[in-house]
Chains A and B, each alone.
Chain A
Amino acid sequence: MASEEASLPVAPARPAPWRDPKVRGIAYQIAFVAAVVGLGAFLVHNMLGNIARQNIATGFGFLRREAAFGIGESLISYTPADTYGRAFLVGLTNTLYVAALGIVLATILGTLMGLARLSGNWLVAKLAQIYVETFRNIPLLLQLFFWWGLLNKMAPGPREAWRILPDVFVSNRGIVFPAIVANPAYRWIAVAFCLGAIAAIGFGRWARKRQAETGRQFPTGWVGLALVVGLPLAVFLAFGAPLTLDRPALRGFNFAGGSTVSPEFTALLLGLVVYTGTFIAEIVRAGILAVSPGQSEAAMALGLKSGQRMRLVVLPQALRVIVPPMTSQYLGITKNSSLAVAIGYPDLVSIANTTMNQTGQAVEGIALIMAVYLTISLAISLLMNIYNRAVALVER
C-alpha cells in the first residue's frame, strides 16, 4: 500500500495565482513601477504646461549664446563675450581645481592629526583632539563665512597688509606671495623629474625581485630619493640655477608682481581642508587602532625597524579599514565645494545659478549640475575602488 502511494506521480500543488509568490512579486513590481512612472509623467506634464505658459525656452541651445557676465577668477581664458557653455567650463575647472587641492591637503592634514591624536606626547595629542572636536562640530558653511569674513572683512587693505612670512602678505585683496619667473630650463627639470620617477620605480621593482631571489637588500628608499630629487636638481644646476623670484611690492593702492590667491578661494579651500581634515583624522586614527597590537609586537619580535614595521605590517592592514570611508570623504569635499556659491567663488554651482537667473532655464541648469556631480562622484568612486582592491585582503 505504502509503496503504491509513493510511486504515484504527485504534481506539486500549485497555489491559486493570487497566493503564488512569483505572480504576486510581478504584480507588486508592476504596481510600483506604474506608480513611479505615473508620478514622473504627472510632474513632466505639469512642467511642460508651465513652461509653455511662462514662455520659458527649453533645450540646451542657451549654452551657445553669449553669457554677458564676468567671472572673478578662472583657470582658462574667459571674457563676458564668451558663451554660457564656456562659462560652465570655467565653473567646472574651478570646482575640479579646488576639490583636487582640497583632497590632497585634507588628506595630509587629516593624516597628521590622526597620527598626532595617537602620539605618546600628551600635549600634541590634546592639541589634535581639540582641533578635531572643535571643527568637526561646526557647520562647514559657517566656517566658510568665518574664514571669508576674516580674510575679506577683517584683513586690512593692501597698505597695512599683514606680513606673515617674508614677502607673503595677507590683505583684503587676498594672499600675495612671490612667484617664480618661468624659465625654459623648467621644462627640462620636469622631464628629468618624470625620468627620475620612472627610474626609481624600475629600480624598486628590480631590487624587490633581487631580494626575493638572493635575499640581499638594497637601499631602495635612498636610491629612489636620489633619482627623484637628484636628477632634477642636477639639471637645475646644469642650467646655472636660474631662479628669479617675482616679489610682490606695494604700488599705489595694491600689490604689483607676485602671485595672488583671492580671499574667496582661500576661504573655500581653508574651510574644506580644516573641516574634512577632522573626519579624515578620525578615520586614520580608527584605522590604526584597528590593527591589533599583537601585529606590531610580532613585527618587533622579527626584528623589523620602526619604519619597516609601519610600512610593511601596520599600514597595509590599516589601509583596509581606512580606504572605504576615505572615499566618501573625498566625495564629500567635491560636493561641499558647491558651498562656494555662498561666498562668491565662481564654481560650477555658482555659475549655473547665475545662468539660471539670467535665462530662467532652471531644469536644464540643474540637470547639468547633477550630471557633472554624478560623473565626478562615479569617477572618484571608481578610482578609489580600484585602489581599494589593491589594498584589500586577498583571501585564499
Chain B
Amino acid sequence: MTDIAQNIPIAQHPPAPRATGVLGWLRANLFSSVFNSVLTVLSLTLIATVIPPVVRWGLLDAIWSAPNGAACHSGGACWAFIGEKFRFILFGRYPVDQDWRPVIVVGVFLAMILAACSRRMWGRRLAILWFVGLSAIFWLMAGGLGLTHVETALWSGLPLTLILAVVGMLFGFPLGVLLALGRRSRLPAVRAICVGYIELIRGVPLITMLFMASLMLPLFLPAGVTIDKLVRAQVAIILFSAAYLAEIVRGGLQAIPRGQIEAADALGLSYIQRTRLIVLPQALSMVIPPLVNSFISTFKDTSLVLIVSLFDLLGATEFALTDANWQGFYVEADVFIALIYWSFCFFMSRYSQMLERELNRGRRR
C-alpha cells in the first residue's frame, strides 16, 4: 500500500501566487485579470491627468491674500476672495454690527441637530429642547426684547438655509403624517383629496411652488393683507416637503400588520387612540432612515429660494460674486460653499446609514 502511494509521480507546480503582503494585495485587488489590469491603468491615468492641474490650481498657484480682485488673477485659485467675502457668504446682508447673533444661531442649530442625533434624547426632553432652541433662534434673528429689530428681508446666508430646512421639515412632518393617514383612510372623499394633493405636488418641480408662493399667493390674499416674502417661500417648502414625507409615512403605515389594528379595535380603542398609541409609533419608527434622507434633500432643495431672490447660503454667495472689485471668482466661491453643503449632507447621510443598521439590529433576530 505504502509502495503505491510513494510511486505516484507528483507533477511539479510553480508556487501559488502570493496572497499576502503588498504584492499579494496588489495582485488580488488591482491586477486579478487582464480586464482589471486595464481598468487599473485607465484609473491611474485618470488620476494622473486630473489631480496635478487641480492641485496646481487650488494650492500651488493659489493666492491666499490680495488687496483686491485685480491683483488676484494669476491662473490659480484666488482664496483671498473667500477670505474677503467669508462673512458675507455665511451671514449675507444681516447687519454687520449684529454678527454675534447669527453666529449663536448657527451654534444653537448645530447643538439642536446633534442632540436630535442621540437616541437617548428622543422623547419629551428633545421636544422641549427644540422648542426652546427654536424660540431662541427666532428671538436672536428677529430681535425684540432688548435686541435691535432686524427685518426678515435681511436674514441671509447659512442661518437662513438652516431655518428654511429645519422649519420646512418640522412643519411639513405633521402635515405629511395627516396626509398619509388621509390617503389610507376608509372615507373616499378624504382619500381622494389627499391623493390628489400628494400627486399634484409630487408631479411638479419645487420651482413652480416657489413661483406660486411669490407670484400667485399675493393674488389669493384679501386686499390689504401682505405676507412676508420669507414666510411665503417657507410655506412653499413646507407644502412641498409634506407631500414627499406623506409618501414615506405611508410606506410605514402599509408595513404595519393588520393584526395590530384589529387588536386595537378589539381593545375598544377609538380611531384617534388607535392611531396615536398603536399605529403611528410603529409606523414612524420604521421610516426614520428615509425621513433623515428626506431631510437631506429638503436641505439641498432650500438652495432654490435664490430663484425668488432670497439670500440663503447660495443666494448670498451669488450676490457676493457681483462685487465689482472682486469679479470672476465663481469656481472658488462654489467650491467653498459646496464644502459647507457637503459636510452637512455627508454627516446626515452617514448618520442615517448608522441608524438604519442600529434599528435593524433588533428586527433581524
Contacts and interface: CB of A to CB of B under 8 A. Distances in A.
B145 interface: no
Contact of B207 (A36, A49, A331, A339): A339
B175 to A, nearest CB: 14
B219 A50 contact: yes
A140 B345 CA distance: 13
A121 B30 contact: yes
A153 B330 contact: yes
Interface residues of A, number: 56
Nearest to A275: B300
Contact of A362 (B215, B300, B304, B335): B215
Closest 6 CB pairs of A and B: A149-B330, A137-B345, A122-B29, A362-B215, A335-B205, A29-B189
Given A341-B207, A353-B211, A120 B29 contact: yes
Nearest to B38: A121
A342 B36 contact: no
Contacts of B346: 133, 137
Interface string B146-185: 0000000000000000000000000000000000000000
15 contacts: A25-B186, A28-B190, A32-B190, A47-B220, A50-B218, A121-B30, A121-B32, A127-B43, A136-B345, A137-B341, A138-B341, A139-B341, A362-B211, A362-B215, A366-B212
B334 A123 contact: no
A197 to B, nearest CB: 29
B189 A154 contact: no
Contacts of A49: 222-223
Interface string B17-54: 00000000000011010001001100110110000000
A53 B314 CA distance: 37
A276 interface: no
Nearest to A140: B300
Which has the most chain A C-beta neighbours within 10 Å: B212, B215, B314?
B215
B277 interface: no
B221 interface: yes
Contacts of A358: none
Nearest to B214: A362
Interface in A208-247: none
B306 interface: yes
B136 interface: no
Contacts of A127: 43, 46-47
Nearest to B194: A32
Nearest to B29: A122
A74 B314 CA distance: 29
A105 interface: no
Interface of A, helix, strand, loop or mixed by DSSP: helix
Given A32-B193, A362-B215, A141 B306 contact: yes
A142 B222 contact: no
Contacts of B190: 28-29, 32
B331 A122 contact: no
Which has the most chain B C-beta neighbours within 10 Å: A36, A141, A342?
A141
B349 interface: yes
Contacts of A150: 330-331
B263 to A, nearest CB: 18
B187 A374 contact: no
A53 B223 contact: yes
A145 B190 CA distance: 42
Interface in A143-168: 143, 145-146, 149-150, 153-154
Contacts of A36: 193
B216 A363 contact: yes
A134 interface: yes
Contacts of A28: 187, 190
Contact of A154 (B207, B216, B331): B331
Given A137-B346, A142-B334, A369 B39 contact: no
Contact of B44 (A43, A123, A140, A339): A123
A33 B189 contact: yes
B61 interface: no
A370 interface: yes
Given A46-B222, A49-B223, 12 more contacts: A28-B190, A120-B36, A124-B40, A136-B345, A136-B349, A137-B345, A137-B349, A142-B338, A145-B330, A153-B328, A349-B205, A373-B204
